[in-house]
């Protein structure tokens, strides 16, 4: 065979196929697994979860639950991926450490955030002891090499890259779940005149890095204000639904992400009947629109969530009652999630699914 001088990392296609075959064999034999998230529908939409070496972008307007979604993913990641050894690196540019911790304690103790912060009355001793135990359990995890690191200082895309590489090596070279909250707060470099350039550079950096390291990146971003224009708020029309053009820096994030979801909480913008089916909404309804699924195994384009903001979690539910279905039931009502999954070819028994576990 002729000896070839490879330019710019060029490889023979047989070598590329060999790399792909090894990946397939590793998944076949259980050596590599996808990273599971708390919602069955989102796992089914992906490859049994999120692939290592992929990027999930979550977009929403303020108050729709985007930070809550990521916090829940990170908080439940150990239980959902108990056979995998990984660390977590969290770039939390929007919220300080005290606020992040208070939310985590609220979720861990199943208490209202205001109770945790003694808003109306002093927190009871038992709950405080539960929080102390949670902190001690976390410290024990750290002693055996299981880490979650939080960065609150705003960084440029180059600094984010260097930080990811640093902690990947410093924490033992394990797969790394990286969350960035959120894209607008990434600091501009000296050579970046506009924020959109920062986002393009950040996305390009992540695309390169996730091909080099076993990382899974979760990026939070905003939806543009166009989603709240009057014509988008007319009840019961397709314009209620967010599209890729509503994502801040949509072109960059759509190209660089393997999965893009947009969260919509219609009640907050006075839409009582949502979308062309006229879904009857309540204050805790959150619609998760799947705008891009690069390697998906499902054809679902929307998931339905109930937000428990007090307990810092979202629960996946079935399709809400639609106003144009004529059932006469006020307030919505929900098809059981197990029934929806059975109809889609999933588990055949309602007992196969515990909604509280997903």
CATH number for 342: 3.40.50.300
Q: Is 281 inside any structural domain?
A: yes
Beta sheet of 313-317, edge-to-edge order = 148-151, 87-92, 176-181, 215-222, 54-60, 259-264, 285-293, 302-308, 313-317
Q: Is 23 inside any structural domain?
A: no
Q: Is 319 inside any structural domain?
A: yes
Asked if residue 162 lies in contact with residue 153, where contact means CB atoms within 8 angstroms, the answer is no
Q: Is 310 inside any structural domain?
A: yes
**What value does the mean pLDDT take over residues 5-19?**
89
Q: Is 43 inside any structural domain?
A: yes
Q: What is the Cα–Cα distance from 305 to 319, expressed in whole angstroms?
A: 9
Asked if residue 289 lies in contact with residue 300, where contact means CB atoms within 8 angstroms, the answer is no
Q: Report pTM.
A: 0.83
Token digits of residue 252: 């960059």
Predicted pLDDT of residue 71: 92
Asked if residue 116 lies in contact with residue 123, where contact means CB atoms within 8 angstroms, the answer is yes
Which parts of the chain fold into alpha helices (H)? 13-28, 40-45, 66-80, 97-109, 113-116, 125-143, 157-170, 195-209, 250-256, 337-343
Asked if residue 328 has pLDDT above 50, the reply is no
The helix/strand/coil state of 247 is strand
User: For the segment 276-310, what is each residue's pLDDT rounded down to a tens digit?
Assistant: 999 999 999 999 999 999 877 667 899 999 998 87
Residue span of the structural domain in which 249 resides: 35-357
Helix (H) / strand (E) element for 291: namely: strand 285-293
Q: Is 249 inside any structural domain?
A: yes
Please, what is the angle between helix 66-80 and helix 97-109, to 10°? 60
Q: What is the Cα–Cα distance from 118 to 233, expressed in whole angstroms?
A: 37
Q: Any bridge partners for residue 258, and if so which?
A: none
Q: Is 171 inside any structural domain?
A: yes
Comparing 137-146, 235-244, 333-342, which segment has the lowest mean pLDDT?
A: 333-342
Token digits of residue 108: 């861990």
Q: Any bridge partners for residue 259, and if so which?
A: 56, 293
pLDDT tier, 220 (very low <50, low <70, confident <90, very high otherwise) = very high
Q: Is 12 inside any structural domain?
A: no
Q: How many domains does the chain fold into?
A: 1
């Amino acid at each position: 065979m002729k000896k070839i001088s490879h330019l710019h990392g060029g490889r023979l296609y047989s070598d590329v196929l060999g790399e792909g075959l090894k990946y397939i064999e590793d998944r076949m034999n259980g050596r590599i697994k996808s990273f599971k998230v708390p919602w069955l529908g989102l796992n089914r939409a992906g490859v049994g979860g999120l692939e290592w070496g992929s990027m999930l972008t979550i977009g929403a307007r303020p108050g729709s639950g985007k930070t809550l979604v990521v916090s829940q993913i990170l908080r439940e990641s150990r239980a959902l991926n108990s056979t995998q050894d990984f660390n977590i690196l969290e770039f939390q540019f929007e919220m300080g450490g005290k606020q992040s911790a208070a939310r985590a304690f609220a979720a861990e103790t199943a208490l209202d955030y205001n109770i945790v912060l003694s808003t109306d009355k002093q927190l009871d001793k038992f709950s405080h002891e539960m929080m102390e135990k949670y902190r001690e359990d976390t410290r024990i995890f750290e002693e055996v090499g299981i880490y979650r690191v939080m960065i609150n200082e705003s960084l440029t895309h180059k600094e984010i890259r260097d930080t990811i590489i640093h902690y990947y090596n410093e924490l033992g070279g394990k797969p790394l779940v990286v969350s960035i909250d959120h894209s607008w707060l990434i600091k501009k470099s000296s050579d970046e005149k506009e924020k959109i350039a920062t986002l393009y550079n950040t996305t390009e950096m992540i695309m390169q890095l996730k091909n080099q390291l076993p990382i899974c990146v979760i990026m939070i971003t905003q939806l543009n204000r166009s989603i709240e224009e009057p014509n988008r708020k007319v009840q019961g029309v397709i314009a209620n639904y967010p599209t890729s053009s509503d994502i801040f820096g949509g072109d960059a994030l759509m190209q660089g992400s393997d999965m893009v979801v947009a969260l919509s909480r219609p009640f907050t913008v006075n839409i009582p009947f949502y979308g062309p089916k006229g879904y009857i909404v309540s204050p805790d309804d959150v619609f998760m629109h799947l705008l891009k699924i690069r390697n998906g195994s499902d054809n679902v384009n929307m998931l339905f969530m109930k937000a428990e903001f007090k307990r810092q979690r979202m629960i996946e539910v079935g399709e809400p009652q639609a106003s144009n279905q004529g059932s006469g039931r006020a307030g919505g009502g929900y098809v059981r999630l197990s029934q929806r999954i059975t109809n889609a070819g999933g588990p055949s028994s309602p007992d196969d699914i515990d909604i509280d576990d997903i």
